[in-house]
Chain A
Amino acid sequence: MASKPRTLYEKIWDAHVVERRDDGTCILYIDRHLVHEVTSPQAFEALRLAGRKVRRPDLTLAVPDHNLPTTPRTDAAGNRLPIKDPQSAAQLAALEANAPAFGIDYIDATAPEQGIVHVVGPEQGFSLPGATIVCGDSHTAAHGGIGALAFGIGTSEVEHVLATQTLQLRPSKSMEVRVEGELGPGVTPKDLILHIIGVIGTAGGTGHVIEYRGPVFERMSVEGRLTVCNMSIEGGARAGLIAPDETVFSYLEGRPYAPRGEAWDRAVAWWKMLHSDPDAVFDKTVVIDAAVVEPTVSWGTSPEDVVPVGGTVPAPESFADPSKQSAARKSLDYMDLEPGQRIEDIAIENVFIGSCTNSRIEDLRAAADVLKGRTKASNVRWAIVVPGSGLVKRQAEAEGLDQVFTAAGFEWREPGCSACLAMNPDKVPPGERCASTSNRNFVGRQGPGARTHLVSPAMAAAAAVTGRLADVRTLAPCQAVDA
């Protein structure tokens, strides 16, 4: 192998190339494949029709999440409750049948380990540093937070991976997002990634894989890193990753699918080599000053439409690009906002804390910290917390967080994707606003006509108690009250 200095991305890529064709296309080996109920039925069906098997069922894990209702899944006697929507029920039934038929580990909708695929993978130790990880969902990039090369794929690629455990791909370019300095108090990983997307734009990472670098990430928890990498796709990148370190290793050690004993030691030794060489050249570098990042809120219908919470809604004319101007006009119209309006004057009727971006234990703790001893404002009609997995839910309950949420007027739900994409019954009503910890503020994403403001969990909690978008740092510290 050439001794040319390589980036982290290049190292992981090179370690997985089965074959390289003259035109640059590679057959890339896939280490981990996560499967959910919405993008897999036709892939399994095609395998069946072609008489093909799943090449490596041992490297595949199935869990339903996208369209499961988040209301209780069993009755008092522990019997499964049926899903009302026939199409959702059919998709769940298909996965339930396909997983055992093809010899794939399946986490049942009622199992305590069930949750959003991108929460479950790291939590179960199924996702590992340096691994190639795919899933039929574009936010697969999240797993980059533990130092994996992870990206979303379509249904025919799901089929391709099931049948061959590989994909035919061309390498992406590499991009460095270097964050210098430290985040201020009350500023979270979600604020940072929203800020980054605001700087690079939704096309900033197109054709690239992003590596996030800098002391901020070295100090960041695994949960925070998963949040940052999760939204790489909103910055246009196919994947985003952070070099694995001791924080990641101690997070993974002892998890159900993680290697043990001697295998663990060998794994850690290899993982320690997974970082960009000092002289590695990135095709593109963006430098971000952490000190300028404020709690950040989206105002429009694109994830790049962000401002600090203390700011105002921008005027379309403030953008240089004429196509951006017209997009901004449309966004403001859809969002029913006026240029110059103070962000903190925007009233909120709904609050959603959940999604693979922000539904891990640390996210729930951050929200609960703000909510302790407070209740939601009277104009907030609907506030829900959807933990990322059953294990997160149990942990939160053990810490009494569920009591804090319900005392504050939140509904405490079962794990799933929920109002992130509103494929299940959890929808924001037309014309209403939602302070949401999810990742996409597209038109109609949280329900037809719904208006989404992307925020961090602490900011979502602040919106709930004030009834408007509010700077969580300005809320008077509240005495912890025993729930």
Chain B
Amino acid sequence: MDKVSTIEGRAIPLGLKNVDTDVIIPAHWLKTVSREGLGKGAFETIREAPGNPFDVEDFAGAPILIAGDNFGCGSSREHAAWALLDLGIAAVIAPSFSDIFSGNAFKNGILTVELAQDQVDRLLEIAADHPIAIDLENQIVTTPFQDRFAFEVDPFRKHCLLEGLDEIGLTLERGAAIETHEQQRARALPWLDAPQRRDAA
């Protein structure tokens, strides 16, 4: 997974509260074989309305999304995170997130930043015309107007994002231990290795 340190650029000022996973990616997009391409279905219902922020040319490819309270509530579908990633979103800023969503986002290398409602309001205002920056190392959101909003982040998640580690990456870091286990297993329980298909006796 890509390392995340500073995310800088335009931010889509969505602002809505209770954006649920059905809004992020409607259910009819779930019968796919790929997590790529889900960006097309992301926020489908919102994007049907003329003048929605996703249509504004300045926000094409924006790496940040700013939303209201309780972002990502609803089902546990991992497709919500996949859809955001496919859209190019690397971080979401909101006053609060659903637990399952922030877990899925983290698993997919998306940073979720919780700020107070008035700070989010200020960012929504600025984002209309200016870029903003999220500095993960120093846990601070900045604007071209000297705003500095500090945020909290779980130290374990911060470490993983900074180092570009997903859960799989973390497990792979323990590769030596896995190998040792495999060697012991090969000695103690050798029949478990490399089963060969043979014609039934």
A residues in contact (CB < 8 Å) with B? 15, 18-19, 27, 29, 31, 41-42, 45-46, 50, 52, 55, 58-59, 87, 90-91, 94, 105, 124-126, 128, 130-131, 154-156, 159-160, 163-166, 168, 253-260, 263-264, 266-267, 270
Contacts and interface: CB of A to CB of B under 8 A. Distances in A.
B110 to A, nearest CB: 14
A45 B195 contact: no
B194 interface: yes
Interface string B68-99: 00000000001000100000000000000000
A163 B168 CA distance: 7
Nearest to A113: B197
A270 B189 contact: yes
9 contacts: A27-B174, A29-B185, A42-B33, A42-B35, A42-B82, A154-B78, A164-B178, A168-B170, A259-B195
A254 B171 CA distance: 36
Given A27-B177, A45-B35, A256 B199 contact: yes
Most buried by A among B31, B82, B107, B196: B31
A256 B189 contact: no
A166 B191 contact: no
Contacts of A166: 171, 178
A168 B193 CA distance: 21
A159 B168 CA distance: 8
Nearest to B179: A18
B133 to A, nearest CB: 27
B168 A19 contact: no
Contacts of A255: 200
Contacts of A41: 32-34
Contacts of B31: 87
Contact of A58 (B36, B189, B190, B194): B194
Contacts of B180: 18
B177 A126 contact: no
B172 interface: yes
B168 A52 contact: yes
B49 interface: no
Contacts of A131: 192
B167 A168 contact: yes
B195 A257 contact: yes
A294 B106 CA distance: 50
Contacts of A266: 190-191
A160 B167 contact: yes
Given A31-B192, A46-B35, A91-B33, A156 B178 contact: no
Among B34, B78, B172, B200, max chain A CB count under 10 A is at: B200
A404 B172 CA distance: 54
Q: Which of B171, B180, B182 has most chain A Cβ within 10 Å? A: B171
A163 B200 contact: no
B56 interface: no
B35 A254 contact: no
A42 B191 contact: no
Contacts of B198: 256-257, 260
A87 B181 CA distance: 40
A156 B105 CA distance: 12
The B interface is mostly helix, strand or loop, or mixed, namely: loop
A68 to B, nearest CB: 15
Contacts of B33: 41-42, 45, 90-91, 94
Nearest to B38: A42
A470 B167 CA distance: 52
B1 interface: yes
Contacts of B200: 254-256
Interface string B2-35: 0000000000000000000000000000011111
B185 A164 contact: no
Contact of A257 (B78, B107, B197): B197
A165 B185 CA distance: 13
A45 B36 contact: yes
Contacts of A31: 192
Contact of B191 (A58, A87, A156, A263): A263
Contacts of A165: 178, 182
Contacts of A263: 190-191
Nearest to B189: A270
A42 B191 CA distance: 31
A166 B180 CA distance: 13
Contact of B197 (A46, A124, A163, A253): A124
B195 to A, nearest CB: 4
A27 B197 contact: no
B197 A18 contact: no
B34 A126 contact: no
A18 B174 contact: yes
Contacts of B174: 18-19, 27
Contacts of B199: 256
B113 to A, nearest CB: 23
Q: Which residue, B78, B191, B193, B200, has most C-beta atoms of chain A within 10 A?
A: B191
Given A52-B168, A156-B78, A259 B177 contact: no
Contacts of A159: 168
A128 B192 contact: yes
A31 B191 CA distance: 11
A384 B137 CA distance: 61
A263 B32 CA distance: 42
Interface in B147-201: 167-168, 170-172, 174, 177-178, 180-182, 185, 189-201
B38 to A, nearest CB: 10
Contacts of B190: 263, 266
A45 B198 CA distance: 30
A45 B178 contact: no
A246 B33 CA distance: 43
Contacts of B181: 18, 29
A128 B191 CA distance: 10
Nearest to A259: B191
B26 to A, nearest CB: 15
B157 to A, nearest CB: 15
A164 B171 contact: yes
A42 B168 contact: no
A45 B34 contact: yes
Contacts of B168: 50, 52, 159-160, 163-164
